[in-house]
Chain A
Amino acid sequence: MEWETVIGLEIHAQLNTASKIFSGAATAYGAEPNRQACAVDLGLPGVLPVLNAAVVRKAVMLGLAIDAEIAPRSVFARKNYFYPDLPKGYQISQYELPIVARGHLEIDLEDGGRKRIGITRAHLEEDAGKSVHEGFGAMTGIDLNRAGTPLVEIVSEPDLRSAKEAVAYMKKLHALVRYLGICDGNMQEGSFRCDANVSVRPKGQQAFGTRAEIKNLNSFRFVERAINFEVERQIDLLESGGTVVQETRLYDPDRDETRSMRSKEEANDYRYFPDPDLLPVTIHAQDIESVRGEMPELPDAKRERFIRDYALSVYDAGTLTATRELADYYEAVVAGCDAPKLAANWLMGDFTAALNRSELEVGQSPVAPQALAQLLTRIQDETISGKIAKEVFDAMWAGEGDADRIIAARGLKQITDTGAIDRIIDEVIAANPSQLEQYRSGKDKLFGFFVGQVMKKTQGKANPAQVNERLRARLQGD
């Protein structure tokens, strides 16, 4: 039987505020345990939550970016469950009236097509603390620094049909929240994490199959592998006459499998009700317009503009706009050298390679965009060849100064004086009579040998185009 996979993703993105969603405690990552957990986060008696304005603005920004409805009135609710890292006994979340609803995102498919993925809703909630089960003997350690950190949970429609589509959607959303500057997207630190609802059904069937929810997917690779494993598991189960149980499963990256989490004795019954400590959140049209005014250019629009304004290929434009930092860097380089295609090649080639080697982000590059622009200008005006430019770039990366200084200090200026090039060619020909004879008797391949000799004599500084042209003329026997 042919099976169809149906996937919906729930993505939790941590909003990058300075303080928590309902308290004035700091949210910075990596603090000593419980140094950033105040009375509100600890759920001490008598405290009251007060909503952070930045959280609302960031949620509105996300809503606008996914073309969703921003609720003029949204409500916080209590989701009740008991766990030690949730000191109040409930999580403040949104249930019936989320702040953002009915949006969508377009993903690029492998065949070059595009697909629209519906986003059911995006709601605000507080994160829980962290439980540490190892190192405390028969006890569990609780660190409440993360408790109260603002999250936006983005719930997709079950529109995804393969692990690859799920990853494409997740990557797209990841790039979007980073473009918007509402989430740092750091997956190792848990700032952007994903649960996947996965089911299969016979191809052509309307009704959905029973789904399993896979938790703990904190990398793109894990999402793909976990979904593929889970799809396989469900199909095997159904084809051998079994049934899929609706349950929560945990992905174990070490074994590359999903495992049933200890089956809960009671079905999830969170008994949501409106939180009496918080009033409904009202968002006025002018609030939305003010956020709209602050919106940066979004990835898709930027990519289209790069294709149009810089005559880049779809692939190049996509690569350069993958992050806002790289796109901004690219535009700063182009502003300084007016060579869009050359700049694109350099950024995707030597520049990215150097970043990877040094394990740096774009923003940490030791070579500023203006400095790279100067280097590219020296290629454009034929002061140096592209090959020599790589040497200059490495020196710039190592902190030896700007391109002009390095070119002067190392004597790398390209030889474009035809007289000088001719003299060197004559020397080379004179020094290699037998090769000359072979070349003239038809061994064309030796042309490369002569080019090599000329470049060697000039330490690579001769203009390659001129060398080719003059050498060919000389060899053909004048």
Chain B
Amino acid sequence: MPTYSTRRGAYSYGHAVGILLLDAKAPFIPGDVANATSYDFPVIYKTVEGLSTSVCLNGAPEFNEKLAEAAKELAREGVKGISSDCGFMLQFQEAVADAVDIPVCMSSLLQLPFIARSLDPSQPIGVITADSTNLDEGFLTRGGVKLPPNPLIIRGMQDEPEFKTAVLEEKGSLDSDLITAETVACAEKLLAEYPTMGAILLECSMLPPYAKAVQDAVGLPVYDFISAIDYLSAGMRPRAYTGGY
């Protein structure tokens, strides 16, 4: 591909995925969707001004247009796909997908149908979310996620002290050892209640740093927000295979 054209609106090049960010004030640690070291490919971020965590979690249709505009700007920068740093951005999936011509995966929750098909239909799927008071089957359905036959067991982190104060109340610091313990305990409790559970989906973009600890504790497949973004990237940048034969 020797001839390259200037992309109008692009300031730099080579970014694989564009990620729309909540206007949130928490530390985004390695493994977080909003930490650039979490990926094997370059990502570019754009904050949606005014879209705070609580506004997004409570539902904010008035932000549809702002999300679409931000997504278009990322597309102009040349990203090959668009995602976000909040599973509740599922509510903007349609608005953003309509606005741009590249693949859009706004939420970790979009993985649910795929995860369900990979399991026996009777096996429960555990969903660990930032706030279970705002995530129910109605939210999923409204967001266009077809409910699988599997029982969905949704548990939230909203009452865990460190998660609540660091992530939801944005106290300005985050103790990742404490959140590891809180997330693992939540998963262990889920498994104790539903011993036939087939997999766990971590909805929240701030939970991937703890996915390995959860998997080590429960021994089940664990999917998270990064697995959705990696998947999106894989489709847009197929690898060349150079192994032997």
Q: Do A and B bind each other?
A: no
